[in-house]
A and B are shown apart, each in its own frame.
Chain A
Amino acid sequence: MIEIEKVNKWYGDYHALVDVTETVARGEVVVVCGPSGSGKSTLIRTLNRLEPIQSGHIRVNGQDIHAKNIDLNAFRSGIGFVFQQFNLFPHLTALENCTLAPMHLRGLSAKVAQEKALALLDRVGLADKASAMPESLSGGQQQRVAIARALAMEPPLMLFDEPTSSLDPEMVGEVLLVMRDMAKEDMTMVCVTHEMGFAREVADRILFMDAGKILERATPDDFFNRPAHPRAAKFLADIRTPFAKAI
């Protein structure tokens, strides 16, 4: 579904992605992890062209996403993107957040769009918050609305850029639960996350990145129990015992 081929990206002199090559199959759930600044967020943002790349190719469904003739908006509408900061539209209700794109981009009538959006809000457990404004929702609720909003376009592919990193710890679970249920439903998912419990249970494959390179590709079992790359082993040791590391 996604083919990444020798992708390079620089921010000025900083080489953020170094010859990254990777494939994600349809229906696969891939978790990308690694230390801060390792390029994982940059990588996922290049997949729907939120970040330009300097060299290499990215193909989604066989289509080169940097091709001159590509309809960028149509392409992006087929990919759900969930941001760390939720980015709900604060001037719209939860329901309107979910109906905006289907109505304007898919031409759905208000009634049909609302019914669909309500079903999605129900799916993320927030049907009773349909007419709530984003500011009145907790972080976890906002992120679940953001997921429903992305799902409203019925994308076959979902990208998550650290979806739980700006949540209070007690709200992380409710978001991960929604994501787990999506993974069960044949959705192709690429998730940048630090939630190792989620990675272990839900991921088909884990990519470990550092310094702009994918250092390790492994099943969760191999990654957590037999990390091949020393950097990955150190990363795992550090996140398992952050306090021990500090002292």
Chain B
Amino acid sequence: MSGFLEVIDTYWLYFLVGQYPNGPLGGLALTVLLASCALVMAMPLGIVLAFARISPWRAVRWPVSILVFVVRGTPLLMVVFWAYFFLPSVTGVKTSQFWTMLIALVIFDAAYLAEIIRAGIQGMPKGQMECARSLGFGYFRAMRLVILPQAVRHMLPSLVNQFISTIKETSLGYIIGLAEVSFITSQINTQVMVYPAQVYLVLGLTYLVLCFGLSRFAYWLEKRRGKRRAAPAVGKEAI
């Protein structure tokens, strides 16, 4: 076991940041960066796609519906390959592995998020939108002020699921040689040779901590919102 501690002692920095600062950023830092960027970019795109999916205009609804069906009907690995091989030949721009992976993740996750958000919006009672409109709110203001704040509460578990998937999906960057934490770990394993179980156990635990942390955070968020709802009625003095 002391041999494995030596391995940790030798490689921990490589595991965390890759070759940085003497080379490109990699390892766990790159995984977290990639996942965060993917989430931050996929969420707004997902919202836009969701609105397109429920748009009354066919010209908006159909292309997005097709995109969603195609993405849902293919594994992420396919999307990664498309982004890696197909996209540069269409756009003429050779993107780095990081951007390739990010594009694939954003498209893939946005399609899934769009479905979660669409279901959340359509699951709201019809009267809420009607009532907001009858007060004089326009469609998008009614969405922002009345529908989405309520719908998000219902969507939260599914959204968190998707966010957790995103973190795990970054590991597919391995296949296009992106130096994220799985790739780095396999390299460490190749160099060390004798502790494959332990090395990959550390990798597994790392993902577990990331995902568990995120789900606890979401749980905390849910609780906090719930508390406000259950706040006791105190009346005039409270204002």
- Say whether A241 faces chain B, with CB atoms less than 8 Å apart: no
**B-binding segment of A16-24, A73-81, A211-219:** A73-81
Contact B136 A153 (CB under 8 A): yes
In this complex, the interface size class of chain B, counting residues with CB under 8 Å from chain A, is 20 to 34
Interface residues on chain A, number (Cβ under 8 Å): 35
Per-position binary interface string of chain B over residues 112-144, scored 1 when its CB falls under 8 Å from any chain A CB and 0 otherwise: 000000000000010110111111111001000
Contact B231 A133 (CB under 8 A): yes
Per-position binary interface string of chain A over residues 34-78, scored 1 when its CB falls under 8 Å from any chain B CB and 0 otherwise: 000000000000001010000000000000000000000111111
Q: Which residues of B contact A118 (CB under 8 A)?
A: 236, 239
Q: Which residues of A contact B239 (CB under 8 A)?
A: 95, 114, 118, 130-131
Contact B135 A131 (CB under 8 A): no
Bound CA span A136–B150, Å:
17
Bound CA span A78–B151, Å:
28
Bound CA span A134–B128, Å:
13
Contact B233 A132 (CB under 8 A): yes
Contact B134 A48 (CB under 8 A): yes
Dominant secondary structure of chain B at its interface with chain A: helix
Q: Which residues of A contact B230 (CB under 8 A)?
A: 133
Q: Which residues of A contact B132 (CB under 8 A)?
A: 89
- Say whether B77 faces chain A, with CB atoms less than 8 Å apart: no
- For A74, A76, A77, A87, the residue with the greatest tally of chain B CB atoms inside 10 Å of its CB is A87
Bound CA span A162–B235, Å:
29
Contact B134 A91 (CB under 8 A): no
CB A75 to nearest CB in B, in angstroms, measures 8
- Say whether B153 faces chain A, with CB atoms less than 8 Å apart: yes
Q: Of B137, B153, B235, which one neighbours A131 at CB under 8 angstroms? A: B235
CB B140 to nearest CB in A, in angstroms, measures 11
Q: Which residues of A contact B141 (CB under 8 A)?
A: 104
- Say whether B238 faces chain A, with CB atoms less than 8 Å apart: yes
- Say whether B234 faces chain A, with CB atoms less than 8 Å apart: yes
The 9 closest A-B CB pairs, nearest first, are A77-B136, A132-B233, A87-B131, A128-B235, A81-B134, A87-B127, A101-B135, A131-B238, A76-B136
| 24 A-B contacts (beta carbon < 8 Å) | A50-B134, A73-B133, A76-B136, A79-B134, A81-B134, A87-B127, A89-B128, A89-B131, A89-B132, A91-B149, A91-B150, A95-B239, A100-B145, A100-B146, A104-B137, A105-B135, A105-B137, A118-B239, A127-B235, A130-B239, A131-B234, A131-B235, A131-B238, A136-B233
Q: Which residues of B pack against A, CB within 8 Å?
A: 125, 127-128, 130-138, 141, 145-146, 149-150, 153, 229-231, 233-236, 238-239
